[in-house]
């Protein structure tokens, strides 16, 4: 099949999906048991499930981050928002709230509030996204510590812990949560015109204004969604360890989330987005980590390899770099 004849969507999907497949195949070659999945007590176990489960928080963040980046912005605060949401939920549990809905609702509300602050600063105040979200990135961990009174708050609450360690339909619940969030956001974006408007605002803010799209409201909305996704990820992290650690919950995950979106092929300038590809991006990051472990390379090389991967992907996206590549090809042919 001719590469040029593929539809643009399909063409965009090829690289991330191929990248993930290559990584997975490498893993199988190194460790043949990689693809083997066991069923114990109606639950699935195996390396593949592990990859999915560990990628869940970043995948959730990536869903929100995708929308933010599609409008031409970026949300640096998601790691801190994770810490806040975890702290709020933990705080509710230890203060005697029993209803799992209230606990989760409290965490989500915290995320929504954080997203609202970000979105308001970016959309209505006109502050650059990096700058606006930097504020909460710095202050957010302080807020989380304040809620926790500086302690690592541990708790025991079966209903809430289900978020992190539960199983549903044989799969770890975080995976299910990612699937549900993905489906909901995908429906919201693609079954209504919101996705179209988000892409429009990112692709050409001025043209959106001339058509009468309410670009400020769109921006507010995507940051709110990003806050909600971060809150969900934060609660999974807290439920997983049965405690809220304001210092370390979600630390540096904002960077992984941005990376996942970039690996998924989205432009940081805004425009086209694909939630599916961003999740593939999150899986690639996790699969890469596992590949490093399986291949016997000491895990200390992890970050270095990740850095190299970002540089390569960024360069491949740069038109100037492609031009240089093209010139080298021509020169070799001549």
Half-sphere exposure of 300 (CA within 13 A, CB side): 1
Calculate the CA 163 to chain-centre distance.
17
Contact flags string 23-52 toward other proteins, x per CB under 8 A: ------------------------------
* Count of residues that bind other proteins according to CB under 8 A: 68
State yes or no: residue 295 binds other proteins (CB under 8 A). Answer: no
| Interface positions, 186-215, toward other proteins (CB under 8 A) | 191-194, 196-197, 199-200, 203-204, 206-214
Counting DSSP H helices and E strands in the chain, the numbers are 14, 6
Q: Which of 22, 25, 33, 128 binds other proteins (CB under 8 A)?
A: 128
Residue 31 or 255 having the CB closest to other proteins: 255
Q: Are 259 and 285 in contact (CB under 8 A)?
A: yes
- Structure tokens belonging to residue 306: 């990740």
State yes or no: residue 73 binds other proteins (CB under 8 A). Answer: no
State yes or no: residue 301 binds other proteins (CB under 8 A). Answer: yes
State yes or no: residue 134 binds other proteins (CB under 8 A). Answer: yes
Beta bridge partners of 172: 167
Instruction: For residues 178 and 54, give the distance between their C-alpha atoms in angstroms, rounded to a whole number.
Output: 11
State yes or no: residue 127 binds other proteins (CB under 8 A). Answer: yes
State yes or no: residue 292 binds other proteins (CB under 8 A). Answer: no
Nearest-approach distance from CB 155 to other proteins, in angstroms: 20
Q: Which stretch binds other proteins (CB under 8 A): 33-41, 171-179, 229-237, 317-325?
A: 317-325
Evaluated on CA atoms 118, 124, 125, 129, the torsion sign reads positive
State yes or no: residue 261 binds other proteins (CB under 8 A). Answer: no
State yes or no: residue 268 binds other proteins (CB under 8 A). Answer: yes
Q: Which of 130, 183, 184, 325 binds other proteins (CB under 8 A)?
A: 130
Nearest-approach distance from CB 76 to other proteins, in angstroms: 9
Q: Name the 3-class secondary structure at 67.
A: helix
Instruction: For residues 156 and 131, give the distance between their C-alpha atoms in angstroms, rounded to a whole number.
Output: 38
- Structure tokens belonging to residue 114: 């954080």
State yes or no: residue 258 binds other proteins (CB under 8 A). Answer: yes
Half-sphere exposure of 248 (CA within 13 A, CB side): 9
Residue 163 or 225 having the CB closest to other proteins: 225
Q: What are the Cα distances from residue 180, in Å, to 13, 190, 254, 271, 304? A: 22, 15, 21, 24, 33
Q: Which of 62, 132, 288, 292 binds other proteins (CB under 8 A)?
A: 132
State yes or no: residue 285 binds other proteins (CB under 8 A). Answer: no
Nearest-approach distance from CB 79 to other proteins, in angstroms: 11
Evaluated on CA atoms 152, 131, 278, 19, the torsion sign reads negative
């Amino acid at each position: 099949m001719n590469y040029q004849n593929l539809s643009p969507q399909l063409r965009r999907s090829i690289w991330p999906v191929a990248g993930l497949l290559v990584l997975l195949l490498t893993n199988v070659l190194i460790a043949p048991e990689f693809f083997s999945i066991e069923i114990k007590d109606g639950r699935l176990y195996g390396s593949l499930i592990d990859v999915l489960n560990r990628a869940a928080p970043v995948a959730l963040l990536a869903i929100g981050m995708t929308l933010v980046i599609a409008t031409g912005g970026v949300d640096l605060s998601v790691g801190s928002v994770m810490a806040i949401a975890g702290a709020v939920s933990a705080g509710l549990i230890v203060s005697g709230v029993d209803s799992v809905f209230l606990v989760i609702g409290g965490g989500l509300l915290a995320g929504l509030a954080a997203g609202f602050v970000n979105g308001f600063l970016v959309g209505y105040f006109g502050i650059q996204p990096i700058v606006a979200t930097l504020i909460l990135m710095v202050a957010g961990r302080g807020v989380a510590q304040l809620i926790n009174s500086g302690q690592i708050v541990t708790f025991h609450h079966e209903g809430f812990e289900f978020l992190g360690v539960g199983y549903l339909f044989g799969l770890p619940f975080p995976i299910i949560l990612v699937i549900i969030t993905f489906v909901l956001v995908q429906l919201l974006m693609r079954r209504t015109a919101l996705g179209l408007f988000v892409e429009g605002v990112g692709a050409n803010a001025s043209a959106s204004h001339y058509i009468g799209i309410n670009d400020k409201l769109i921006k507010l909305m995507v940051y709110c969604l990003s806050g909600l996704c971060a809150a969900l990820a934060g609660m999974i992290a807290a439920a997983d360890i049965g405690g809220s650690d304001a210092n370390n919950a979600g630390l540096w995950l904002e960077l992984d989330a941005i990376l996942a979106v970039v690996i998924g092929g989205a432009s940081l300038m805004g425009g086209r987005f694909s939630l599916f590809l961003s999740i593939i991006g999150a899986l690639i990051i996790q699969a890469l980590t596992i590949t490093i472990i399986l291949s016997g390379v000491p895990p200390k090389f992890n970050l270095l390899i990740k850095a190299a991967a970002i540089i390569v992907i960024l360069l491949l996206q740069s038109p100037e770099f492609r031009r240089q590549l093209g010139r080298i090809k021509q020169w070799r042919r001549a």
